Amino acid sequence: MAAGTTLYALTVELADVDRGVYAPLELRVARHPSETAEFMLTRVLAYCLEHQEGIAFTEGVSAGDEPAVLVRDLTGQITAWIEVGAPSAERVHRAAKLAPRTAIYTHKDPDQLLGLYAAHQKSGQRIHRAADLPLYSFGRGFIDEVAPKVARRATLALSRTEGQIYLDLDGTTHSTTLEERRLA
């Protein structure tokens, strides 16, 4: 572990009604010194909202060739590549070729990110399966409001129903809409 890495122990009660996934999760999250609280929270939410057998955090910002969250089947084959933040168009293109499911969860302005991807494609460079790739974003200010409140040991209850996210963090409930757009 890199010097200065902060470890978080998060207990999450997940109730994803939209996908029919219900699970208690005990997450150990290593926050790299260069990782913002907003990026880390988005990474945790992406993990929870994509939760399935074989899901794992990677080394995050310190893992150059891996996404924030990765899903492998029992044979070790990559089945889902989950990016967080504002990955480059080249990185998204490569991910879409490597994994049957590729998704992006962002805490950045989704319009700005979509504009960058559109400009990339307009210049003649492709993003593989761009029309199939979802970009998920949270309501304006949600991540910025909640991220500083996540303690190193925290209990969360995360629910998703009809695209609405409810996050109870140590007894205080926050809610937002999870917006889904396509890259093309």
pLDDT at 184: 85
The better pLDDT of the pair 63, 147 is held by: 147
Residue 107 has pLDDT above 60, yes or no: yes
pLDDT at 63: 60
- Cβ atoms 95, 104 nearer than 8 A: no
pLDDT at 1: 47
Q: Which of 137, 125, 71, 74 is nearest to 102 (CA)?
A: 71
- Cβ atoms 4, 31 nearer than 8 A: no
Q: How confident is the model at residue 121 (pLDDT cuts 50, 70, 90)?
A: confident
53-61 long-range Cβ contacts below 8 angstroms, 24+ apart: 54/79, 55/80, 57/27, 57/29, 57/30, 59/30, 59/32, 60/30, 60/31, 60/32, 60/35, 61/32, 61/34, 61/35
pLDDT digits (tens, 9 = 90+) for 135-145: 999 999 999 99
Q: How far apart are CA 42 and CA 111, in angstroms?
A: 17
**Span 2-11, mean pLDDT?**
86
**Span 87-94, mean pLDDT?**
93
Domains of the chain are 6-182 (3.10.640.10)
Q: Which residues contact 148 (CB under 8 A, 6 or more apart)?
A: 37
- Cβ atoms 42, 113 nearer than 8 A: no
- Write down the pTM of the prediction: 0.94
pLDDT digits (tens, 9 = 90+) for 58-75: 876 656 788 999 999 999
- Residue pointed to by tokens 């700005």: 112
Q: How confident is the model at residue 120 (pLDDT cuts 50, 70, 90)?
A: confident
Residue 130 has pLDDT above 80, yes or no: yes
pLDDT at 109: 93
pLDDT digits (tens, 9 = 90+) for 10-37: 999 999 999 999 999 999 999 988 899 9
